[in-house]
Amino acid sequence: GPNIGLISSLCIHARINEFGFIETPYRRVKNGKVSEEIEFLTAEKEDEVVIAQANAPIDERGRFGEDRVKARLQSDYPMVEPEKVQFMDVAPNQIVSAAAALIPFLEHDDANRALMGSNMQRQAVPLLRPEAPIVGTGLEEKIARDSRTVIVAERNGSVESVTGDSIVVEYDIDENSVEAIMSFDDKRRVEYRLTKFLRTNQDTAINQKPVVREGQRFKKGDILVDGCATDKGELALGRNVLVAFMPWRGYNFEDAIIVSERIVAEDVFTSVHVEEFELQVRDTKRGEEELTREIPNVSEEATKDLDENGIIRMGAEVNEGDILIGKITPKGETDPTPEEKLLKAIFGEKAGDVKDASLKAPPGMKGIVISTKLFSRKKKDTESKKEDKRRLESLERSRKRDIQELTEKLARKLDQFLAEEKSAGIRDTDGNVVLRAGTSLKADTFQSLENVDKLDYNQDWVDDKRKQNVVIKIYENYRQKLSEIEELYRHEKNKVQLGDELAPGIVQLAKVYVAKKRKLQVGDKMAGRHGNKGVVSTIVPVEDMPFLPNGRPVDLILNPLGVPSRMNIGQLFELALGWAGEQLGVTFSSPIFDGASWEEVQEYLNKAGVNPNSKSALIDGRTGDKFDQEVTVGYLYMMKLSHMVDDKIHARSIGPYSLITQQPLGGKAQFGGQRFGEMEVWALEGYGASHVLQEILTAKSDDVLGRAKIYEAIVKGENLPEPNVPESFNVLMRELQGLGLEVKIE
């Protein structure tokens, strides 16, 4: 629809109240004094009050520093006396969403470019080796935590072991504390399993990496594991690269980007992509299809990597046209007779006529198989039933074992907590006395009882009310843990009894996941955080790139003409501060509407010992001569976006046609042709290229007879035949005849 490009996000600090309205926090102002009291207001309440801006100057007592304060009242912005102000914004960034609040120096960017910048951060591809920005806004860590892609320590402890796909930590827990006694979650030693190369809907990979070492101590809230686009717990969508703003041999005309070979060689913008391929096995009316490696008219070489189910093995290399999943389908024109069915039953499936219906890798594919899955409907044969019975018995055994362990744990906890106490009379749920009143409770009293779980814990066991409440809590937690165990086993049991859930008519479903590494290449789209996007136009050898006086070649060259008319000056602030940060080895957090001024940026450039305007004399790598003018140089944070040339490039010779018009289909997904539209026809007409035009309108498109004849003529080396009538003309004629007009060709 018309608002397809609009994505609504909540602003920072905003929340939805119990009535479903959006509300945002403000600090209350009383008699010109700003208090620490926070109040959430909805839009209708906001309409009636005078609100001061977050960056209005205040002294240490909370009074406004000026006689007049810039405020907001409905849609007007009056200057009012401090006494008239009723509320004040809590933070300068509360007017934007999380995506926009990640753009440093947002206040220096035009709104159109800021919109592009916040939208393009959503399209950034998780890189193989991400890096947190030198210049951020301070929200990077909060967003990484809230995205739940990182694993955070739940309390203080130490790391026991670290491997690529799991880490084991030991938390400091006082076994004798009331909290530990009440809890049945054994949180002392916890193993975290890491997600490795999991496919996303964008075909990129989610991959977690540990950031802690074996034996390391950590505090509650520390980051233990990084997610797919985080660096030590900070959001990291791209890399910091050395950028120069200058034209270079016309290669950065119209927003094109020139890249140094170092970026490709050192895998700076390399990402991992995982594609999913699936094939369904149906029960057709001619018989059931079958997954197999024995495919008719296919060489042994082509099926060497397939297993007995016809699915390619993990670790196999895949190129375009390779068989990923082998499948045969019956091709008899009629339903099989009972005799044929009998022969098939005796001699196996191969007796019938079958055709190859395998899934092959699409054009341009190159990668490694990282995992395969096979889902099957429940089979009703004796062998399957025996196997199911075995699995159910094994599940039942482990269920009983888990429940027994839990009950023993309950008894141990009660003994530990109530040792040395006097019993006030303990009964079971049927009312039978288990321990008489006055009995001394020892360290193994409850462990020697048979049915600890059947005791009535709602009666007073001991005189100490506080201890009795803890006993009730212990039993409640025990019941909760017990129901969790039962639910888990019920779920597993259902899985065994019902098999995989597949759509009707589908017997099996096979999936293959293929991963590939993609380096940055010509045609890939890149962007900064200020809406400064471009396409890689050429990759230049390091020795040809312009270099700084200290010999450091630049990584990227951007066109200076991309800055003035776009009015996104924030990138120049970031560039300069990034250079200072890189030289000094520090990172900066510049919150939006409250960030560094140009004077502060220059101060850091001076500290770093570089030009205070972030300019430098550059030397041409090709000639060794200095460029005439100084060039603006610095560190920019650049991202690779998910619009990659590998996904867009497409070529076709012969392929599928539309049945009605007999013209090739359109689009890469259909393996279609290129549309030669109205304007392209004008271009050829302008040059009078009539034969080229005729060939495009006939032989290359929908002249059915001519297509075959031209092929024949080319093969035999003869002259090309005269073109025939295009099929689309016949379609037009039929259309007119369908309207009741008699059309004849004389």
CATH of the domain at 712: 3.90.1800
How many domains is the chain built from? Answer: 5
Q: Tell me, yes or no, whether 541 and 557 share the same domain.
A: yes
Domain end point (choices 640, 665, 689)? 640
Categorise residue 512: left if φ over 0, alpha if ψ from -120 to 50, beta otherwise. Answer: beta
Can you point out the beta strands (E) in 91-201? 135-136, 151-152, 157-162, 166-171, 189-193, 198-199
Q: Are residues 428 and 345 in the same domain?
A: no
CATH of the domain at 620: 2.40.270.10
pLDDT band, very low/low/confident/very high, at 105 (cuts 50, 70, 90): very high
Please tell me the distance from the alpha carbon of residue 531 to that of residue 539, in angstroms, as a whole number.
Answer: 22
pLDDT tens profile 513-543: 999 999 999 999 999 999 999 999 999 999 9
Average pLDDT over residues 306-331: 92
Question: Which among 512, 203, 269 has a CA at the least distance from the CA of 368?
Answer: 512
* pLDDT tens per residue across span 590-630: 999 988 999 999 999 999 999 999 999 999 999 999 999 99
pLDDT digits (tens, 9 = 90+) for 207-228: 999 999 999 999 998 999 998 8
What pLDDT shows up at residue 244? 96
DSSP letter assigned to residue 621: T
Query: For residue 89, what are the contacts with CB-CB under 8 A and spacing of at least 6?
Result: 26, 27, 51, 52, 53, 54, 95
pLDDT above 60 (res 702) = yes
pLDDT given at position 177: 65
In order, the DSSP letters of 4-55 are TT----PBTT-EE-TTS-EEEEEEEEETTEEEEEEEEEEHHHHTTS-EE-TT
Contact indicator for 621, 545 with CB cutoff of 8 Å: yes
- Percent of the chain with pLDDT strictly greater than 70: 94
pLDDT bin (cut points 50, 70, 90) of residue 680 is very high
Mean pLDDT of 82-107: 91
Do 634 and 537 fall within a single domain? yes
Q: Are residues 372 and 507 in the same domain?
A: yes
Break the chain down into helix, strand, coil percent, rounded to 5.
30, 25, 45
CATH number at residue 50: 2.30.150.10
Asked which of 604, 619, 640 is the last residue of a domain, the reply is 640
Strand partners, 635: 242
Place of tokens 């099989």: 336
Range 53-77 average pLDDT:
87
| Cα–Cα distance, 366 to 376 (Å, whole number) | 28
Per residue in 551-575, pLDDT (tens digit) is 999 999 999 999 999 999 999 999 9
Residue 356: CA atoms inside 13 Å, Cβ hemisphere, count?
A: 17
Residue 223 domain-assigned (yes or no): no
Residue 737 has pLDDT above 90, yes or no: yes
What average pLDDT does the structure give for the chain? 88
What is the arithmetic mean of pLDDT over 686-704?
Answer: 91
The answer on 278 and 423 residing in a single domain is no
Task: Specify whether the CB–CB gap between 265 and 539 falls below 8 A.
Answer: no
What six digits make up the tokens of 528? Answer: 């900064």
pLDDT greater than 60 at residue 382? yes
Under 8 Å between Cβ of 243 and 529: no
For residue 336, is pLDDT > 90?
no
Final residue of a domain: which of 80, 95, 110?
A: 95
Domain residues for 628? 242-270+520-640
284 in any annotated domain: yes
For residue 533, how many other CB atoms are within 10 A of its CB? 21
